[in-house]
């Protein structure tokens, strides 16, 4: 997978890709992540990328021209499956959307700032919009990092044990079961006996029951998903 992240604050998004799983995925050659500074596509000497809103009102609006120049440049280098604008009013990110995106080859994530982008960007230049939740961030960078993380970890080979992504919460509309490690007893708090019984079938059945029980208790909405 090739991921281009277009932002006017590149520093804000660099660190999640320079550590741990996301760093390893790039080292293994399973994904390339390119962070692009939108200001380098600005046409004036001040490197402006925003301007006042037509009609007045507080807040600056990201201009269409630098964004269009940037996207044209990227599109001349490869064909993109999706050009995604990070926005609080986009399609809500779910595990199933992450699964879908993990099958794509080339993606652009465009991060908004200030009051957002000129509406013509949304109408003409992008193919979808994604929100990470019903709250407003200062910019799209943290949301883009969340999308990138959830998608990249699903690419085969990124996690050392592929089953660990398949057994994540939400993969089958169930919350993951509880996990324990040594010591088996701590301050008198015991690990469930079944987990140290060595009986694999019983362990799997227990984990499934726990998942269903937890989902009923914490996220009953998941069980009524069509
Ligand atoms: N930009 C600002 N808030 C956002 C959100 N909740 N999701 C995606 N992008 C955003």
Q: Is 189 in the pocket of ligand 1 (CB under 6 A)?
A: no
Q: How far is the CA of 24 from the centre of ligand 1 (A)?
A: 27
The tokens 């998903």 sit on which residue? 225
Residue nearest to atom 6 of ligand 1 (CA): 88
Write the pLDDT tens digit of every residue in 125-138.
999 999 999 999 99
Q: Is the CB of 137 under 6 A from ligand 1?
A: yes
CA 21 to chain centre: 14
* Average pLDDT, consecutive stretches of 10 residues, N- to C-terminus, the chain (226 residues): 97 95 96 98 94 94 97 98 97 97 98 92 98 96 98 93 76 92 98 98 97 96 81
DSSP state letter for 2: E
Structure-token pair, residue 15: 């660190």
Task: Measure 136 CA to ligand 1 centroid, in angstroms.
Answer: 5
The string of pLDDT tens digits covering residues 175-225 is: 999 999 999 999 999 999 999 999 999 999 999 999 999 999 999 999 986
Ligand 1 centroid–CA 115 distance in Å is: 12
Choose the residue to mutate in 5, 87, 94 for probing ligand 1, maximizing ligand atoms within 8 Å of C-beta: 87
Q: How far is the CA of 91 from the centre of ligand 1 (A)?
A: 11
DSSP for 34-101, please give it: EEEEGGGG--STT---EEEPTT--SSEEE-HHHHHHHHHHHHTT---SEEEEEEEEEEEP-HHHHHHH
């Amino acid at each position: 997978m090739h991921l281009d992240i277009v932002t006017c604050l590149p520093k804000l998004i660099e660190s999640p890709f320079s550590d741990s799983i996301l760093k390893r995925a790039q080292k293994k050659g399973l994904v390339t992540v390119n962070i692009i500074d939108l200001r380098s596509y600005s046409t004036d000497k001040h490197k402006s990328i925003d301007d006042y809103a037509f009609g007045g009102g507080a807040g600056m609006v990201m201009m269409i021209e630098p964004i269009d120049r940037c996207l044209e440049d990227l599109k001349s280098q490869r064909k993109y499956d999706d050009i995604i604008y990070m926005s609080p009013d986009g399609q809500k990110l779910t595990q199933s959307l992450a699964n879908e995106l993990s099958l794509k080859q080339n993606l652009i994530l465009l991060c908004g700032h200030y009051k957002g982008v000129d509406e013509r960007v949304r109408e003409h230049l992008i193919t979808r919009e994604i929100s990470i939740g019903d709250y407003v961030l200062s910019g799209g960078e943290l949301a883009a990092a969340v999308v990138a993380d959830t998608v990249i970890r699903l690419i085969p080979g990124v996690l050392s044990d592929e089953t660990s992504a398949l057994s994540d919460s939400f993969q089958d509309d169930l919350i993951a079961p509880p996990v324990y490690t040594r010591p088996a007893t701590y301050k008198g708090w015991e690990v469930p006996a079944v987990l140290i019984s060595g009986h694999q079938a019983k362990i799997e059945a227990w984990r499934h029951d726990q998942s269903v029980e937890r989902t009923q208790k914490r996220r009953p909405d998941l069980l009524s998903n069509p």
